[in-house]
Amino acid sequence: MARRAKVGRLNTLESDRLIALITVCEEAVSLFENDVAAAAAGWMSSPVRGLGSKRPIDMLGTRMERKRS
């Protein structure tokens, strides 16, 4: 993000990843009743059994990983 801030725009892949991150973060915060700390530190950063013991934040890397979950 810091590199792109100098240029002033994101490429398509970067935009896609940023939108995915924002969407997942908003949903996690909603799930945890607007408790941002619980959503970010608790769920996003911890292995989740339903995701094959992967951390949700790690599953945002590719579109295929996002669609599987």
7-58 confidence digits (pLDDT tens): 778 888 888 888 888 888 898 899 889 999 888 878 888 898 888 998 888 8
pLDDT of amino acid 35: 92
> What predicted TM-score, i.e. pTM, was given to this entire model?
0.63
pLDDT of amino acid 65: 54
- Sequence-distant (≥ 6) Cβ neighbours of residue 38 within 8 angstroms: 32
